[in-house]
């Protein structure tokens, strides 16, 4: 019942199966969206905290941040998931936490992609022109205030395209969370595959993930347009809706601000 | 040359003092044993060929560069290093920032904060460094914008302004901190020629209306003549010649000053 011909022959019945299974599939989409959204949020917080910590004044802070980042970048997502799901509960009191599958997924995705994001944040902080740091110093603003009032708002516009890519990778990376018993979109597709065949099931999976990725692209493009407008590098979002569908990081001509 | 030592706040203490200053970038010794003072209210212009160390001197006063050797004092307070019990010791950052609060700097490339409006650029440091309230900082900023002819642009973003306008905002931003020392590093070099005049006019007014001590680097020799009490000619990190502007510009003694002025005038 597989193959291209099977796909077309069985399209009608397969669509019926899909409709019949829609409640479970929607549950799966919900799990994937939750893991991606919450994992992405955690990753963002980790990225900002550890990105800034890597340029901190005190060497001890920088080194600690560096070790953290290298650890979570260097160990695989699967191992982190398994560790949180199966090793952590076996640790002696008070560490033997048994976490819900969604919590495990969010933690592992957040830590892993947050570590990558920290590098992005560090890089974009370094890309803010030297003159900005000098103006902060010349106004005797404290380094902390300068960082949060001047550097981060400018670095934010620079880091969004890369963060957008990371978030899409996180979405795709989330397809393994069913190994720790979070029944996500991928798991539900696997379930209907027995009845519909591989071609139909995975074509559906491709489309579903593709649409979810587009939602991320549009959200991140909106943030990027807004951030660039705020630092005078592009039009307001209300004047450039078309920007939402472009590739992240696209340059806007004529940075007119009105 | 007016004798500015007369109106000094603390008689006998120069407003800016370089004492045995050494500045190296790696193996490149840019300043070697430099000594000079600026009196309270005095306007001193540094001239000299590119690479002679003029910018480095201003950046040392603003503590944007690490001092390799010697001491820099502002109002008698040591900036980066102090002599404690015969030992050269680092001044803690918090103490240093208290001293640099009285120093303002205007840069060649303006360095306005692009994520803030013109007004926000100006009130940021008064609010968070001087501790003014918004009710105090905003009228003060508006008065300064008036003075630099930018009152109608207070809610604009820096990217909407011409270079000359941005530089006038940067001047207002520096003045908002009530500086006692103002450092001007080639503030018109990045501007289109037709925009230079508006910035120099603003600076001349400020020089006339205030008694802020100024250390100026410029290639605008007429401006230097108009505002300076003293001109120092630098070459290879040394003071080649110094004196009143009329003397330096009309009858320089050193051959190097003559060559330099012939090239730029
Ligand atoms: N950040 C730096 N790193 C290395 N060398 C520098 C740096 N800044 C300045 N220099 C060197 O110091 C010398 C003096 O530079 P500068 O003070 O900018 O001169 P000026 O302002 O008179 O043109 C030059 O030889 C320059 O190459
Ligand atoms: Mg220079």
Tens of pLDDT, residue by residue over A171-182, are: 999 999 998 889
Q: What angle do CA B160, B165, B168 make, to 5 degrees?
A: 135
Give the pLDDT confidence score for residue B212 in this predicted structure.
96
Could you report the predicted ipTM of this complex, rounded to two decimals?
0.91
Using CB atoms within 10 A of its CB, is residue A55 exposed (0-12), middle (13-18) or buried (19+)?
middle
Give the pLDDT confidence of A242-256 residue by residue, as tens digits: 878 877 777 655 443
Per-residue pLDDT, averaged over B214-221, amounts to: 95
* CA distance linking residue A201 with residue A119, whole number of Å: 37
For the cut 90, the answer to whether the pLDDT of residue A238 exceeds it is: no
- Residues in chain A with CB shorter than 8 Å from the CB of B114 are 154, 231-233
Domain segments of chain B as ranges: 1-102+179-265, 113-178
Position A154 confidence tier, pLDDT thresholds 50, 70, 90: very high
B52 lines ligand 1 (CB under 6 A): yes
Position A9 confidence tier, pLDDT thresholds 50, 70, 90: confident
Q: Compute, in angstroms, the gap from residue B56 CA to the centroid of ligand 1.
A: 6
Ligand 1 pocket: which of B25, B68, B183, B189 to mutate (most atoms within 8 A of CB): B25
Position B80 confidence tier, pLDDT thresholds 50, 70, 90: very high
Parallel, antiparallel or unpaired: strands B103-106 and B181-185? parallel
Query: Would you say A83 and A149 are in contact if contact means Cβ atoms under 8 Å apart?
Result: no
For the cut 80, the answer to whether the pLDDT of residue B5 exceeds it is: no
Give the pLDDT confidence of A71-92 residue by residue, as tens digits: 999 899 999 999 999 999 998 8
Give the pLDDT confidence of A215-234 residue by residue, as tens digits: 999 999 999 999 999 898 88
Residues in chain B: 265
Give the pLDDT confidence score for residue B11 in this predicted structure.
60
- Residues in chain A with CB shorter than 8 Å from the CB of B125 are 139-141
Query: Would you say A3 and A159 are in contact if contact means Cβ atoms under 8 Å apart?
Result: no
**Residue of B94, B113, B187 to mutate for A, most A C-beta atoms under 10 A:** B113
Query: Would you say B99 and B75 are in contact if contact means Cβ atoms under 8 Å apart?
Result: yes
Query: Which helix (H) or strand (E) covers residue B98, if one does?
Result: helix B93-100
Per-residue pLDDT, averaged over B70-99, amounts to: 93
Give the pLDDT confidence score for residue B88 in this predicted structure.
93
Domain total in chain A: 1
B50 lines ligand 1 (CB under 6 A): yes
Range of the domain at A158: 2-257
Flag the least confident range among A96-100, A120-124, B198-202: A96-100
Query: Would you say B15 and B40 are in contact if contact means Cβ atoms under 8 Å apart?
Result: yes
CATH code (residue A86): 1.10.3720.10
Strand runs labelled E in A180-219: none
Q: B1-102+179-265, superfamily in CATH?
A: P-loop containing nucleotide triphosphate hydrolases (3.40.50.300)
């Amino acid at each position: 019942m597989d193959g291209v011909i099977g796909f077309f022959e069985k399209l009608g019945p397969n669509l019926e199966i899909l409709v019949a299974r829609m409640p479970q599939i929607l549950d799966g989409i919900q799990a994937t969206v939750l893991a991606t959204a919450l994992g992405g949020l955690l990753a963002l917080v980790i990225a900002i905290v550890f990105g800034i910590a890597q340029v901190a004044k005190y060497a001890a802070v920088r080194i600690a941040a560096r070790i953290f980042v290298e650890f979570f970048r260097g160990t695989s997502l699967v191992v982190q998931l398994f560790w949180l799901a199966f090793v952590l509960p076996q640790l002696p009191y008070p560490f033997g936490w048994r976490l819900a599958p969604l919590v495990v997924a969010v933690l592992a995705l957040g830590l892993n992609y947050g570590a990558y994001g920290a590098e992005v944040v560090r890089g974009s902080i370094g890309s803010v022109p030297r003159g900005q740091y000098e103006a902060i110093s010349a106004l005797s603003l404290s380094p902390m205030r300068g960082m949060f009032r001047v550097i981060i708002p400018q670095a934010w516009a620079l880091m969004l395209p890369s963060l957008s890519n990371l978030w899409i990778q996180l979405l795709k990376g989330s397809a393994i969370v069913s190994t720790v018993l979070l029944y996500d979109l991928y798991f539900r597709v696997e379930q209907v595959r027995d009845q519909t065949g591989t071609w139909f099931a995975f074509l559906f999976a491709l489309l579903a993930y593709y649409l979810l990725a587009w939602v991320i692209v549009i959200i991140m493009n909106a943030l990027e347009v807004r951030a660039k407008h705020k630092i005078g590098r592009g039009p307001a979002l209300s004047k450039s809706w078309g920007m939402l569908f472009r590739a992240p990081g696209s340059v806007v001509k004529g940075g007119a601000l009105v | 040359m007016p004798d500015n030592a007369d109106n000094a706040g603390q008689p006998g203490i120069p407003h800016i003092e370089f004492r045995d200053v050494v500045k190296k970038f790696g193996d490149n010794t840019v300043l070697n044993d430099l000594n000079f003072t600026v009196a309270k209210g005095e306007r001193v212009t540094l001239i000299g060929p590119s690479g002679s160390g003029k910018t480095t001197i201003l950046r040392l006063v603003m503590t944007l560069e690490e001092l390799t050797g010697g001491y820099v004092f502002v109002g008698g307070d040591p900036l980066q290093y102090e002599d404690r019990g015969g030992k050269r010791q680092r001044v803690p950052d918090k103490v240093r920032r208290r001293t640099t609060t009285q120093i303002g700097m205007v840069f060649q490339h303006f360095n306005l904060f692009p994520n803030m409006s013109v007004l926000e650029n100006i009130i940021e440091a008064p609010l968070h460094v001087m501790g003014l309230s918004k009710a105090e900082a905003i009228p003060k900023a508006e008065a300064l914008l008036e003075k630099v002819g930018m009152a109608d642009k207070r809610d604009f973003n820096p990217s909407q302004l011409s270079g000359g306008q941005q530089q006038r905002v940067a001047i207002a931003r520096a003045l908002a901190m009530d500086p006692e020392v103002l450092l001007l590093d080639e503030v018109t070099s990045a501007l289109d020629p037709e925009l230079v005049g508006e910035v120099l006019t603003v600076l001349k007014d400020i020089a006339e209306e205030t008694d802020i001590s100024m250390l100026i680097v410029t290639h605008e020799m007429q401006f230097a003549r108009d505002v300076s009490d003293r001109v120092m000619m630098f070459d290879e990190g040394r003071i080649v010649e110094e004196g009143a502007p009329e003397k330096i510009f009309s009858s320089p003694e050193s051959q190097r000053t003559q060559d330099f002025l012939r090239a730029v005038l």
